[in-house]
Structure 1
Amino acid sequence: MSSTSSAPYVVLNTGARMPLLGLGTYKLCGAEDVRSAVDAALASGYRAFDTAAVYRNEADLGRALRELLPKYELTREDVFITSKLGPKDQGVKATDGALHSLSQLDLDYIDLYLIHWPGTQGLLVSDQRNPGNRAQSWAALEELQAQGRLRAIGVSNYTAAHMTQLMHSCKVPPAVLQVEFHPQLCQKELRRLCEEHGVCFQAYSSLGKGQLLSDPGVMEVARGCGHTAAQVLLRWAVQQGVPVLPKSSHPDRMGENTKLFDFTLSDTDMDTLSSLDCGHKYVSRDPSEVA
């Protein structure tokens, strides 16, 4: 974990710097809402934005960045853009899916492109074609990375079994694994696996879809250190070197979230939060069911 004057970052296995804090854009819909959120995020110091084909907002995000970067005297190279391959494009359609994301975002390259889900839309989770489709998708992303269209490639929602399978078959190892991660879901096995293979472990749903904000243990730590529950939950992750992608369309909350680099949690507070681990998932879809 390192820091510059602008944004603390992690160094990926490609050598690229990925900010520790990014704006998640899931459920952010409509050109006006996307532009407003991007404007507030850039003003607050965000330099990373996470989207996906299934979010249906890639075009609006790309347009907002093109219009707003000059306002903050920023260029394309100053921001880190992540998008993801939709499950409907898993397998033979992967190249077209990734190129469609590039077209929607209207970019020459995407900083990080992930396989969003280990399964394929239209197939049962138990279907034995799923592993072959994942492998075909990965080979397509490797080729697009070699062409410079995708600067880094990775996966999302992969289990330890999916990751192990990928590591055995890939030519290019994934740069990032993005999964649900918070004090109630510490993902120790996946984090160990990522550490062994030099893969950056990245969190989504850091606030447990908002439900962790009222958890007694989280509230106690927040009161004790004089910060909000959201700041404490995000700090718990980044203090372990785990990048976070909190979702918000509220400028005040975005600004609050950037303050997570202004303080450090004590070892006791870190232990208190980690002790909440009970394997609870707030995201209903279970990737462990996917063959």
Structure 2
Amino acid sequence: MSIHKTVKLANGLAMPSLGLGTWQQRDADVVKRVVGQALSTGYQLIDTASVYRNEAAIGDMLTEIFNGPGSTIQRKDIWITSKLAPTQQGYEKAKQAVLDSLEKLQTDYIDLYLIHWPGASRLKPDSPKHREMRAGSWRALEELYEQGKVRSIGVSNFTTRHLDEMKEYAKIQPMVNQCEMHPLCQQTELLQYCAQNSIAFTAYASLGEGALVNGDVKLPQLDAVAARRPDLTPAQILLMWGLQKGVAVIPKASSAGRIQENFDVLAKAELSAQDVTDLDGIGNKPEKHFCWHAGHIA
């Protein structure tokens, strides 16, 4: 398996396979610094969400860069992903949410817009209202897609059940599903489903929210691969593992060193078949989720 610098979506767009995740980064000065460093490093994808509350800071930084004297980076060079919050579910709210994100990001279009979670706020997990709300949200995204306000649409944290249900009401099938994925949460069934249905996959929490590389969770197999590949850090090994499975990765980083380290994986030699097999062998049953898991949402 080899890595690619882009992932092709069902509508023909090429999404960068490595981007900057910005979850938990709300301080405007920090967000602007991190985004600026990422773009100067070579990143072309910035991943945000309404619930992250940093879209405005990202928009300020992008506008500053695009309009800077002598800047070689233009809007068309950058892929922006944002997402609909659970509080924004439903046709009218979803439509307004995208317009609000466009204003905050100071852009005429968003490259990829996702329904962040299959559930709506303030409903019991087993409420049938969830389906109605997300179907309304999807209808809004389809209309905005047709209007060119969003260049591609998809979902996040959807299970195979939620995706299968979409076939009953979606005129346009989701182009991306963004979910947690790492060796303890390999999402094998979900990956197969997405591949069979032309849905690209983006992995978040590739490092297990840091637990897989900071010593909180011991992975002898990862240590063995790291011993064979001294040119790669454990974080780079985990990112490479995901990239070689054909998914996009969006690791978070706040320091210039980490931003560069993550980006450098694109220029490294890929993992051997044995390395991949060893990491696959970590597989945890049941899968270990460090973040959201929507299996209980009706």
User: TM-score per shorter chain, which class?
Assistant: over 0.9
- 275, 290, 297: which one aligns with 1:290: 297
For the residue of structure 2 that corresponds to 1:151, the secondary structure is: coil
- Report the more deviating stretch, 251-260 or 200-209: 251-260
- 13, 24, 29: which one aligns with 1:27: 24
- 254, 259, 270: which one aligns with 1:254: 259
- Report the more deviating stretch, 54-63 or 91-100: 91-100
Once the two structures are superposed, the pairs formed by residues 116-155 of structure 1 within 5 Å of their partners are 116-155=116-155
Q: Which runs of 4+ in 1 moved over 6 A?
A: none
1:286 Cα deviation after fit? 2.8
Q: Distance in 2 between matches of 1:187 and 1:199?
A: 14
> Are the equivalent residues in 1 in contact too, given 2:47–2:82 (CA < 8 A)?
yes
1:2 Cα deviation after fit? 7.6
CA RMSD, 1 decimal: 1.3
Once the two structures are superposed, the pairs formed by residues 87-102 of structure 1 within 5 Å of their partners are 87-92=86-91, 93-102=93-102
Give 2:58's aligned residue: 61
For the residue of structure 2 that corresponds to 1:163, the secondary structure is: helix
1:258 Cα deviation after fit? 1.3
- TM-score w.r.t. structure 2 length? 0.93
Give 1:163's aligned residue: 163
- 270, 279, 288: which one aligns with 1:280: 288
Greater helix percent: which structure? 1
Q: Distance in 1 between matches of 2:164 and 2:112?
A: 21
Q: Which has the higher contact order (CA 8 A, sep 6+)?
A: 2
For the residue of structure 2 that corresponds to 1:110, the secondary structure is: coil
> Are the equivalent residues in 1 in contact too, given 2:3–2:246 (CA < 8 A)?
no
Match for 1:268: what amino acid? Q
> Are the equivalent residues in 2 in contact too, given 1:63–1:105 (CA < 8 A)?
yes
1:219 Cα deviation after fit? 2.2
> Are the equivalent residues in 1 in contact too, given 2:221–2:278 (CA < 8 A)?
yes
Give 1:85's aligned residue: 84
Q: Distance in 1 between matches of 2:63 and 2:254?
A: 19
Once the two structures are superposed, the pairs formed by residues 193-204 of structure 1 within 5 Å of their partners are 193-204=193-204
Q: Distance in 1 between matches of 2:270 and 2:145?
A: 37
Does structure 1 residue 191 correspond to structure 2 residue 168?
A: no
Does structure 1 residue 17 correspond to structure 2 residue 25?
A: no
For the residue of structure 2 that corresponds to 1:154, the secondary structure is: strand
Structure 2, unpaired ranges of 5+: none
> Are the equivalent residues in 2 in contact too, given 1:42–1:72 (CA < 8 A)?
no
Q: Distance in 2 between matches of 1:54 and 1:183?
A: 27
Output one character per residue of 1:91-120: Cα deviation in whole Å (capped at 9) or x when no partner: 131111111111111110000000000000
Output one character per residue of 1:164-193: Cα deviation in whole Å (capped at 9) or x when no partner: 001232100111000000011111111111
Match for 1:234: what amino acid? L
Structure 1, unpaired ranges of 5+: none
Task: Give aligned-pair identity as a percent.
Answer: 42
